[in-house]
Structure 1
Amino acid sequence: MDYIELLEKYMQGLTTPEEEKALLDWIQHDGDARSTISAFYEKRWKETPDTGVSAELQYKMLMNIKQNICQHEIENQSAAGRKIVWMNVMKYAAAILATMVVSVFSAYYFYSSESDVKNFVVYADKGQRSNLVLPDGTKVWLNSDSKLEYDNTYGVKERKIRLTGEAYFEVAKDKEHRFLVSTGLMDVEALGTAFNVQSYPNEDEITTTLLEGKVKISTPGQEAILLPNQQACFGKSSNGLSVIEVENAKYSNSWTKGEFAFNGATLEEIAKELSRMYNMEIKFDSDEIKEYNFSGVIKNNSLTNVLEIISLTSPVVYEVVNDSIILDKQK
């Protein structure tokens, strides 16, 4: 069976249920699937004419993969088991997307006929995470609900990328070409280092946490140099930049290892993070519990596990209602 041809057909939404099952089984169980897909699309990328694939079509292809995978699994579960099985569906979809989408989706590019600049974009939708290697060897882990962009001038004069959301970087050393992450309001410059950047549009604060090396932080009218175990915080509303010492900087990228870490975070902050990670709405029936503080590291960061630990260590109860979670104070 030609799985690449089947994959092409699947991404266009033309496969039969039997073909979908065969393709998903191959991706999940064949250890060579990732390298086969990667090699094929790398070759195609090099041979693709400049007309390229439109950004709209690429995004539709990505959404088609995600929706078809989730729907395929959900339809095979009984209604009684869906609340628990929902987590397994997302894990299964995430595993397939981590293998397939980064290799496939990032191999395509956005192209404008009015310019020679080709723009590469990688998405990690809500409930998903992605990882990739940039042309210079820099490793990037992209967290849920995030987007990373760069173009084909990357590495010519400098190595510049644009980030919306959260990402962890292990930067390849290259003293001749600075590495720059731009979030719009905060620029992070590095030569060879490891750091985490969080910049979600709906959050007031942009943070950069340094694990190794040295980075330069630039915000409107302000600059700072970060050393290991320091964090830069920029308030969008206050337009203020501050640098603080962090006791456990290593926890800033715990999400890349499948862990969930928080240090003095409020339940409201944790709920926002969980909502992004699992693409599930979280509501509060009690405003009081929003300010409860939590610290710790959860190795198995499944949604059920996190909620169970929160309920066991505090007077908080939770209930799963359809696609939402309700948090309330224990009576």
Structure 2
Amino acid sequence: MENNQYNAKELAHKLIQGTITADEKIWLDTWYAGFSDEEVLLSASRYQTPEQLRESILGRINAQITTARKPAQVIALWRNIAAAAAVVLLVTFATLYRNQALEIIDPTKQIAMSTTFGKHQQILLPDGTRIWLGPGSKISYPDKFRTRERLVKLEGEAFFDVVHDKDHPFVIQSGVLKTVVLGTSFNVKAYPRQPIAEVTVISGKVAVLEHGLPQSRQAIMVPNQQTVYDKASRSLVTREYPNASKFLSQRTGLFSYDGASLQSVADDLSLQYGVHLNLATGIAQKEFYGRINTNEPLANALNKLCAVMDLHWRKLNQGYELQPLPFNN
């Protein structure tokens, strides 16, 4: 019987619950008989010898046994729980020991990357996950994923195409907001100076959690849904978002609009180029149809927008302004 057929920790729990099969019990007994306590004792542990570790395990197990059972039942129960608890603890210690040893031999390094406004960058993570980092954004991640969570930290906007791993959730930390997934594609927009943050799902299922006092909040999303987090009110609002697929092109800087308000277009350009774009009175709700490539210089984007909308733009001391063309008789 091959060792990789079973997981020792899972079998230990099945032993406690009484659901273990005969073959699984034989494998578990063989595994435990060949396991050395000394291999998994941690240098930082309060247990200095295998005997101390064993006594601690048995002491905790003994406290769980009810005196109402008959002696023979107590002995059988005690032996089963003792073996299972020892396996669970030793497997846990073995995992910790392996990770600590690897950190000594080959330490994990934190990688930080950033983009300037008007620029996009594609990143490949150690697990095969792909990230499209938006303009004016920062991201950091380890060069090796060794912990249970695959944790990255984001400031700004990024599109994620996450490789599925049910045992190692992928977590994006953006301030107090956490986005947790197993494997999916979605967009996170969480610029530090913006009053709201947005998470939009293209495929899979995503959990968004806000951690803070006095209580935390969370939302679960499926494809074509978006959760908006308001930083001031600490509210999480989930809504239907049928046009979620637009982020597949936006992740590379290509924006398509099908009747979007001019204000919405101006907001996008402001974030992409890191500028303040002001609209003259009365034009914010005008509808725009067209495509804008934000990889081009800002002047090109403004020229195209103005040509379609019969506007002109001018540079101000603190940004840009769009105005209607003067009316000619």
What amino acid does structure 1 have at the position aligned with 2:291? Answer: I
Aligned to 1:56: none
2-structure distance, mates of 1:236, 1:264: 29
Match of 2:197 among 196, 206, 228: 206
Aligned to 2:116: 125
Aligned to 2:280: 286
Aligned to 1:157: 148
1:157-202 alpha-carbon deviations (Å, 9 max, x no partner)? 2101110000000001111100011111321111110000000112
What amino acid does structure 2 have at the position aligned with 1:328? Answer: Q
List alignment gaps of at least 5 residues for structure 2: 1-106
Matched, 1:217 2:212: no
1-structure distance, mates of 2:193, 2:260: 17
- Secondary structure of 1:311's match? helix
CA contact (8 A) 1:166 1:197 kept: yes
1:39-54 aligned at under 5 Å gives the runs none
2-structure distance, mates of 1:276, 1:299: 14
Task: Mark the structure with the bigger radius of gyration.
Answer: 2
Matched, 1:135 2:130: no
2-structure distance, mates of 1:185, 1:324: 30
CA contact (8 A) 1:261 1:295 kept: no
CA contact (8 A) 1:298 1:306 kept: no
Match of 1:310 among 302, 305, 309: 305
* Offset at residue 260 of structure 1 (A): 1.2
What amino acid does structure 1 have at the position aligned with 2:178? Answer: D
* Offset at residue 254 of structure 1 (A): 2.2
What amino acid does structure 1 have at the position aligned with 2:252? Answer: K
* Offset at residue 317 of structure 1 (A): 1.7
2-structure distance, mates of 1:165, 1:153: 23
- Secondary structure of 1:257's match? coil
Matched, 1:236 2:231: yes
Q: Closer, same or farther in 2 for the Cα pair 1:210/1:325, shift >3 Å?
A: same
2-structure distance, mates of 1:293, 1:161: 39
| Segment drifting more, 300-309 vs 180-189 | 300-309
Number of residue pairs the alignment of both structures matches: 214
CA contact (8 A) 2:270 2:277 kept: no
* Offset at residue 219 of structure 1 (A): 1.6
* Offset at residue 313 of structure 1 (A): 4.0
Q: Closer, same or farther in 2 for the Cα pair 1:285/1:171, shift >3 Å?
A: closer
2-structure distance, mates of 1:198, 1:186: 11
Matched, 1:172 2:166: no
Aligned to 1:186: 177
* Offset at residue 125 of structure 1 (A): 1.4
2-structure distance, mates of 1:255, 1:200: 16
Q: Closer, same or farther in 2 for the Cα pair 1:286/1:218, shift >3 Å?
A: same
Aligned to 2:255: 260
- Secondary structure of 1:196's match? strand
Identity between Structure 1 and Structure 2 (%) = 31
1:139-159 alpha-carbon deviations (Å, 9 max, x no partner)? 000010000012356343210
RMSD, aligned α-carbons? 2.7
List alignment gaps of at least 5 residues for structure 1: 1-115
Matched, 1:246 2:241: yes
2-structure distance, mates of 1:294, 1:185: 35
Aligned to 1:298: 291
2-structure distance, mates of 1:177, 1:252: 25
Q: Closer, same or farther in 2 for the Cα pair 1:293/1:136, shift >3 Å?
A: farther
